[in-house]
């Protein structure tokens, strides 16, 4: 019986040791599992970030490629309206401040400038810059501004020292009247031509148009 008691005691001790070992093993496994889970989450997060970065880079490269393609098309189109070196005109546009707009938009604007008959290089660039600044301020296209400014210059070339004077005229009319530059641009060219032909000075035309715009806005507030 003593031997049996000793055997049971030994078995109990072995069982407790096994349980302790199993408990320790379970704890180690849980720590390992937690570490692996965190590691996998970190790796997954890292790969998601890499994938997002790769997608952004791909989109940027695609946009850059398309922009370069559109720019080259606009540059080649310049050969339809001028015999000047495409390389020289490309350099002129690329040297302009980025705040004026994209190189593609500026090159397309340059095309409109030449098409409007302003072919002298210095005058053409001045018109392009003024048109870009005016377009950005008035939230309209360069093409519209260029058409309006060149028509004003043709009508009142003798009374305007520079194309910037024509742009200043539009903004002064916007300030004095109840109208906006984007509303003036489509009509100012034809109005300048008729006014000049009838002997009306550019200042008189500007004042009259400002007054008319105020009157129209006043009457528009009444219902008859």
For residue 96, give the DSSP letter: S
Question: 91 and 142 in one domain?
Answer: yes
Tell me the pLDDT band of 30, cut-offs 50, 70 and 90. confident
Whether the Cβ atoms of residue 157 and residue 149 lie closer than 8 Å to each other: no
**CB distance 56 to 77 below 8 Å:** no
Domain region containing 26: 1-80
Is the pLDDT assigned to residue 210 strictly greater than 70?
Answer: yes
Tokens describing residue 76 = 């080649």
On whether both 35 and 123 belong to a single domain, the answer is no
pLDDT confidence of residue 16: 63
| pLDDT, mean over the chain | 79
110 & 174 share domain:
yes
In this structure, the answer to whether residues 106 and 203 fall within a common structural domain is yes
- Could you tell me which residues come within 8 angstroms of residue 136 by beta carbon, excluding any fewer than 6 positions away? 99, 100, 101
pLDDT of residue 158: 67
Whether residue 60 is found in the same domain as residue 140: no
Q: Which residues neighbour 125 within 8 Å (Cβ) at sequence distance 6 or greater? A: 92, 96
**pLDDT > 70? residue 163:** yes
pLDDT band with cut points at 50, 70 and 90 for residue 222 = low
Q: How far apart are CA 115 and CA 89, in angstroms?
A: 15
Residues 72 and 96 in one domain: no
For residues 103 and 209, state if they share a domain: yes
Per the structure, how many domains does the chain have?
A: 2
- Is the domain of 130 the same as that of 180? yes
Q: How confident is the model over 25-49, as a mean pLDDT?
A: 73
pLDDT at residue 224 greater than cutoff 60: no
Last residue of a domain, one of 48, 80, 112: 80
More confident residue, 30 or 87: 87
Q: Quick one: average pLDDT of 165-190? A: 80
Same domain for 57 and 102?
no
Clarify whether residues 116 and 208 are in a common domain: yes
Look at residue 8 in the predicted model and tell me its pLDDT.
56
CA 89/CA 78 separation, integer angstroms: 9
**At which of 63, 80, 97 does a domain end?**
80
- Per-residue confidence band for 61, with pLDDT thresholds at 50, 70 and 90: low
Of 21, 49, 80, which residue constitutes the final position of a domain?
80
The verdict on 76 and 92 lying in the same domain is no
Indicate whether 99 and 69 sit together in one domain: no
Q: 0.95 cut: is pTM over it?
A: no
């Amino acid at each position: 019986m003593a031997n049996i008691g000793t055997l049971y005691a030994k078995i109990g001790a072995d069982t407790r040791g096994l349980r302790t070992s199993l408990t320790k093993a379970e704890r180690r496994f849980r720590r390992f599992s937690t570490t692996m889970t965190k590691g996998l989450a970190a790796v997954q997060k890292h790969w998601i970030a890499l994938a997002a970065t790769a997608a952004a880079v791909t989109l940027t490269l695609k946009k850059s490629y398309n922009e370069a393609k559109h720019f080259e098309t606009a540059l080649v189109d310049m050969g339809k309206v001028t015999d000047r070196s495409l390389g020289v005109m490309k350099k002129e546009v690329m040297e302009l401040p980025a705040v004026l707009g994209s190189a593609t938009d500026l090159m397309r604007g340059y095309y409109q400038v030449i098409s409007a008959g302003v072919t002298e290089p210095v005058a053409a660039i001045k018109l392009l810059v003024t048109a870009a600044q005016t377009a950005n301020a008035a939230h309209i296209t360069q093409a519209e501004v260029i058409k309006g400014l060149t028509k004003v210059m043709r009508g009142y070339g003798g009374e305007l020292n520079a194309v910037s004077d024509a742009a200043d005229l539009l903004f002064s009319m916007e300030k004095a009247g109840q109208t906006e530059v984007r509303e003036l641009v489509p009509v100012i060219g034809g109005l300048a031509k008729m006014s000049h032909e009838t002997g009306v000075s550019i200042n008189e035309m500007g004042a009259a148009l400002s007054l008319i715009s105020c009157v129209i806005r006043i009457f528009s507030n009444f219902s008859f």
